Amino acid sequence: MHNPMELVGRRILVTGGSSGIGRETSILLSRLGAELVIVGRNPERLEATRSRLEGGPHHVEEIDLSDTIKIPDWLKSVSKEVGTFHGLVHSAGTQLTKPLRVTSHDEIEDMMRINIVAALSLVKGFRQKGVVDSQGGSVVFLSSVMGLVGQAGQATYSATKGALVSLTKTLAMELAREKIRVNSVAPAMVRTEMMDTMFQSLLPEQVAAIVSMHPLGIGTPEDVANAIAFLLADTGRWITGTTLVIDGGYTAH
């Protein structure tokens, strides 16, 4: 019996694969049979993720995605080494909780570069002939509920995540003729290293207030990984231009 979630024979690149949602997504995709290329800046953490993957062969690629101009050529060289890709998950990103009045110009530009410009460069590279599989592919961006609702102290982060929602729709239209689907997921608070770092910068009452806004509680990286796998697999073959909200009820208020 065919399992529409099965990913056997598919090669998927996951950025941010050394931690958090990217790591758990890589692990889940490997369990579903995919061949992974996991991307990050820390070789030790990348190897730690690879050691937890099932099946194979799997590959690691150390790259700083902030050097965005090099991404398309880099993807071309990776595909020549490992083969064409069926999927791309852009999970790498940065987060900043800070009032705009004290946010520096460099902080704004750094976040835009990783969260938005890198996303554009990755898709620009992914859609190249010889990089994406001849039968097409699937792209999933990691957006956030902060791209859908407003919250003080999140101006720069929200701007980048909201841009990914718009980018999802536009690229879905542009790349449909190339049989490339483009979707995004928008999680609320998830128990990752990034969440822990953010919570450390807040007062206890602020943390409690954030937690209380999630009727089903704080999520896990696995909750988001499940949705990403759904969009990559045949279960999502008629879905494009969509942002799937995974938020424990956060936006239902």
Q: pLDDT tens-digit profile of 80-131?
A: 999 999 999 999 988 777 888 888 899 989 989 999 999 999 999 999 999 9
- Residue 37: inside a domain, yes or no? yes
Distance in angstroms (rounded) separating the CA atoms of residues 103 and 96: 9
Of 44, 156, 33, 163, residue with least CA distance to 100: 156
Distance in angstroms (rounded) separating the CA atoms of residues 252 and 236: 24
pLDDT beyond 80 at 12 = yes
- Give pTM, 2 decimals: 0.93
Tokens of 237: 């073959």
Distance in angstroms (rounded) separating the CA atoms of residues 118 and 106: 16
For the question of residue 250 being annotated catalytic, the response is no
Lowest-pLDDT range, 41-55, 104-118, 197-211?
A: 197-211
Is there a contact between 88 and 140 (Cβ–Cβ < 8 Å)? yes
- Residue 71: inside a domain, yes or no? yes
pLDDT digits (tens, 9 = 90+) for 153-168: 778 989 999 999 999 9
- Residue 241: inside a domain, yes or no? yes
- Residue 222: inside a domain, yes or no? yes
Q: How many domains is the chain partitioned into structurally?
A: 1
Average pLDDT, rounded, for the chain: 93
pLDDT value, residue 99: 81
- Residue 1: inside a domain, yes or no? no
pLDDT beyond 80 at 194 = no
Q: What is the DSSP letter of 132?
A: B
Locus of tokens 């880099």: 74
- Residue 142: inside a domain, yes or no? yes
Question: Which residue among 74, 141, 157, 250 is the active-site one?
Answer: 157
- Residue 4: inside a domain, yes or no? no
